[in-house]
Structure 1
Amino acid sequence: MRTILIPTDFSKNALHALQYAQELYKCERSCFFILHAYMDEVYGEYKTTSSEDLEERKRIKKEESEKKLDHLVGTILGNPPNPLHNFETIAVFDSLVDGINDFVNEMNIDMVIMGTKGETSDHKTTFGSYTIEVFKYLKCPVLAVPEGFEYRQPKVILFPTDYMLPYKRRELKLLGNLARKFKSEVHCLYFTDFDELSIRQMDNKKFLEGSLSDTYLSFGTTSVKNKADGIMEYVKKNEVGMLVMVNSRHSFFEDMLYRSTVDLLGLKVGIPFLVMQNLNR
């Protein structure tokens, strides 16, 4: 059974991500855990220093969150409901990132699916600050679903890489499963100014080819300096339906995520974005 975690702040974007998850796994036995972290709601409005008042506010917010979660499940259940799907709700007094991370580790979650923006996010950006924090720190695959994106099977999955770091079979298995599920082509895009690969890069590329041998693979290069611009250009020219990147120490994606978060904020992809984690779990 698939175990899928969907964080929610009860925004339209979060609801959309939940509906996308249902469609993505409609033919698979799945348990969807819907999580709401309400710590910021307690401290955001709390002014007094009385511990009794604080505990009362925590109790009230917990009850409110649980009621909203129950209502949400009632809203998204089909008529008739999908017999392959189960839903569980969790209201936690924690920050969003810590709440997600703890639950992922506790339940060995297969994937987190979330919206790209929450209720309070800047509408000029593609990714809200919480989504970027989850990308950074969660040791689990994270699929971010853009606002308003309608579910469709991607004909092309774009996998930007520099071939510098060894891949793990676990992450490539997930990519291969998605490609077979969708019957998609996987396009590997290499950002470089050079024509030849180093021995290390060739070994990593061979491992990639071997791990995805039963999927259609194509390999391309680009000399565009700005990674976000290069990705966006390729997405538009090749009808890419999903973007996949790997987060690991000193990786291509980490460079965008940590050293140049502006690049990620400028990556205005209108397609689902899967971040796989090459981190110890």
Structure 2
Amino acid sequence: MRKILIPTDFSENATNALEYAIALFKYEISEFFIMHAYQDDIYAEDLKVTRETLSDVTEMVGNRSKIRLESIKQHAYKILPNPRHTYHIVSSNNILVDEADKIVDKENIDVIVMGTRGYTNDSKITFGSHTLQVLKYVSCPVLVIPEKYKYKKPLHILFPTNYLIPYKRRELKLLCEMVCPYNALIDILYITSSRGLSMRQQDNQDFIKNELCKNDLNFKTVNSKNITNTINSYIKENSVDMLVMVNNRHTFLEDILMQSTIDKMGLYINIPFCVLQNIHRDI
């Protein structure tokens, strides 16, 4: 069974991410946990909150959260009725990143699906602050859906790698099973300014072959020193439907995510972006 966490702030972007997830996992028996962490909302009620009224405002915001979550759940049932899917709602007086981390551990979540930005939608940035926090700090793969991106079958996947990371079986299995029903082609792209693979890199390449064996794999090498430009160009020139990268210490992606915004590195992402965290979890 696939377990999917959907954080929401009830924005159009969040609802769009939920709809994408429902369509993507339509072939799998799946449990969706639709979660709203409303602690920030309490203090946004700045005209109402005092020490004396905090309890009442908290109750009001919590009740409103539950009502809106129930509405989102009913919407999920209607847009694509699927006997394989069940839905749970989670309303919590917590901050998003902490509540997401808590649910990931408690429910053994396979993947988080969320929008690039929420209500504080700034078209000048790729990822909002909440999305960046989840990408950086929650120990779970994250699938990020761009604003207004409408679902299409993930037929062509781009997976850039330097083959230096000791990949985790569970995370590659997620990718394999997520796109296998669509007979997807996965381009494994090695961007390098040198030649050949070391023994360690060859072993990691073989591991990828074994774990993604249900899909068509295309191993490619591009000689380049500019990783960002190479990825951007490849996506544009090859009609890629999803970008997959790994967030690990000392990787290109970690360098991006540690910037105040991903845009400083010039990585332009207008397709679903799956970040594998490459951390130890149960197999």
Q: TM-score, normalised by structure 2?
A: 0.91
Distance 2:264 2:187 in 1: 20
Conservation of the 8 A alpha-carbon contact between 1:157 and 1:240: yes
Q: Which amino acid aligns with 1:154?
A: P
Partner residue, 2:14: 14
Conservation of the 8 A alpha-carbon contact between 2:111 and 2:142: yes
Distance 2:214 2:48 in 1: 61
Decide which moves more: 166-175 or 208-217. 208-217
Decide which moves more: 26-35 or 89-98. 26-35
CA distance 1:42–1:80, change in 2 (3 Å): closer
Distance 1:48 1:30 in 2: 40
Decide which moves more: 262-271 or 95-104. 262-271
Counterparts in 2 of 1:75-94, with a 5 A limit? 75-78=75-78, 81-94=81-94
Partner residue, 1:171: 171
Counterparts in 2 of 1:154-233, with a 5 A limit? 154-233=154-233
Partner residue, 1:41: 41
Conservation of the 8 A alpha-carbon contact between 2:162 and 2:191: yes
Shift of 1:259: 5.6
Partner residue, 2:112: 112
Distance 1:150 1:49 in 2: 39
RMSD: 2.1
Shift of 1:48: 8.3
- Deviation string 1:158-192 (CA, Å, 9 cap, x unpaired) is 00111112111111111221332220111111121
- Deviation string 1:204-256 (CA, Å, 9 cap, x unpaired) is 11222232233221122234444332211001111111111111222332232
Structure 1 residue runs of 4+, over 6 Å off? none
Structure 1 runs not aligned, ≥5 long: none
Partner residue, 1:97: 97
CA distance 1:177–1:74, change in 2 (3 Å): closer
Counterparts in 2 of 1:245-256, with a 5 A limit? 245-256=245-256
Partner residue, 2:123: 123
Q: TM-score, normalised by structure 1?
A: 0.92
CA distance 1:197–1:264, change in 2 (3 Å): farther
Distance 2:273 2:29 in 1: 23
Distance 2:204 2:262 in 1: 28
Distance 1:127 1:236 in 2: 20
Q: Which amino acid aligns with 2:42?
A: V
Counterparts in 2 of 1:235-250, with a 5 A limit? 235-250=235-250
Shift of 1:142: 0.8
Shift of 1:47: 6.9
Q: Which amino acid aligns with 1:221?
A: T
Structure 2 runs not aligned, ≥5 long: none
- Deviation string 1:65-94 (CA, Å, 9 cap, x unpaired) is 111111222233227832222211111111
